[in-house]
Amino acid sequence: MGPFGFLPKDKAVLGRELERRGLTLIGATHVHTFGDRASAPVLLATLRELAPLLKDLGAKHLVIMDESNWYPEGQEGVLDREGWNGLTATVREAQAVIEGEFGLKASFHPHIGTAVEFERQIDRLLEETEIDLCFDTGHHAFWGQDPLAYMEKVWGRIAYMHLKNVDAAVRQRVLDGKLSVAASYGAGVMAPLPDGAVDIQAVMRFLDAKGFDGPIVVEQDIAENAAETPLELAKRNYVYMQAIA
């Protein structure tokens, strides 16, 4: 659905527009300032508005993730012990609303520039909460982490997949301190699926072997100097995925 409000909130209008385009709604990803414990009531109120819309339109998943823009520049994702405890408490409350009140599947999306992006942070979240993951191959590989190895490690806690790839050369500039995380997007760090460092075919073979039945969403960020239009990139990713299938 994009950010809540990007598409119509009226279920009749949204349902009609999806049907006109032959689209099925599988879920939504809601971004929130999980580092700010005081904002938890706002999150829960929003979830109680968003979740019924998803349920009415047949979706089964609601993904939540931390807001990177909330952190001061140079301190992205940095929380002290109190801040982390507030994050996990808010995650538990959100899961209770999503799953307990509305019967949807909740998952948490580790993301660059947030308090949950490195494996040690993801491990800690999984240990301290019962929420499963929306696992993103590109965000995981951004810091040189191995997505496939980590998927094997936490298998059973992955409910939702984002397929994304990373340009190894641009990533290395970030790792070397020559390019900021924010600037890396415009520089094309998130490559088209066929072009990046992540072996997407191996990821798909792994998911197939495990019998994964959750959603697999292809995402594509666009570089500032991209030679292809968003539509052309989408088509190329589609052809690539069809070949794998």
Phi, psi of 172 (to 5 degrees): -65, -35
Please tell me the predicted confidence (pLDDT) of residue 76. 87
The answer to whether 71 and 113 are in contact (CB under 8 A) is yes
Residues forming a β-bridge with 218: 163
Residue 244 confidence class, pLDDT cut points 50, 70, 90: confident
pLDDT digits (tens, 9 = 90+) for 212-229: 999 999 999 999 999 999
SS3 state of residue 82: helix
Please tell me the predicted confidence (pLDDT) of residue 43. 98
Q: Which residues of 10-22 are buried (b: 16+ CB within 10 A; e: fewer)?
A: eeeebbeebeeee
Please tell me the predicted confidence (pLDDT) of residue 236. 95
pLDDT digits (tens, 9 = 90+) for 55-114: 999 999 999 999 999 998 888 899 999 999 999 999 999 999 999 999 999 999 999 999
Interval 145-171 mean pLDDT = 97
Residue 182 confidence class, pLDDT cut points 50, 70, 90: confident
Please tell me the predicted confidence (pLDDT) of residue 93. 98
Please tell me the predicted confidence (pLDDT) of residue 73. 82
Please tell me the predicted confidence (pLDDT) of residue 137. 98
Two structure tokens written together for 125 = 């979240």
Please tell me the predicted confidence (pLDDT) of residue 92. 98
Q: Could you count the other beta carbons within 10 Å of the beta carbon of residue 175?
A: 12
DSSP state of 225: T
- Share the mean pLDDT of the chain: 96
DSSP state of 96: I
Please tell me the predicted confidence (pLDDT) of residue 62. 98
For the chain, which residues make up each domain, given as ranges?
Answer: 11-165+198-222
Question: CA angle, 176 as apex, 142 and 171 as ends, to 5°?
Answer: 30
Please tell me the predicted confidence (pLDDT) of residue 74. 83
SS3 state of residue 131: coil
Distance CA 47, CA 31 (A): 11
Please tell me the predicted confidence (pLDDT) of residue 245. 74
pLDDT digits (tens, 9 = 90+) for 24-57: 999 999 999 999 999 999 999 999 999 999 999 9
CATH 3.20.20.150 fits 11-165+198-222, yes or no: yes
Looking at the chain, which runs of residues are DSSP E strands? 27-32, 61-66, 105-108, 132-136, 158-163, 216-218
Please tell me the predicted confidence (pLDDT) of residue 150. 98
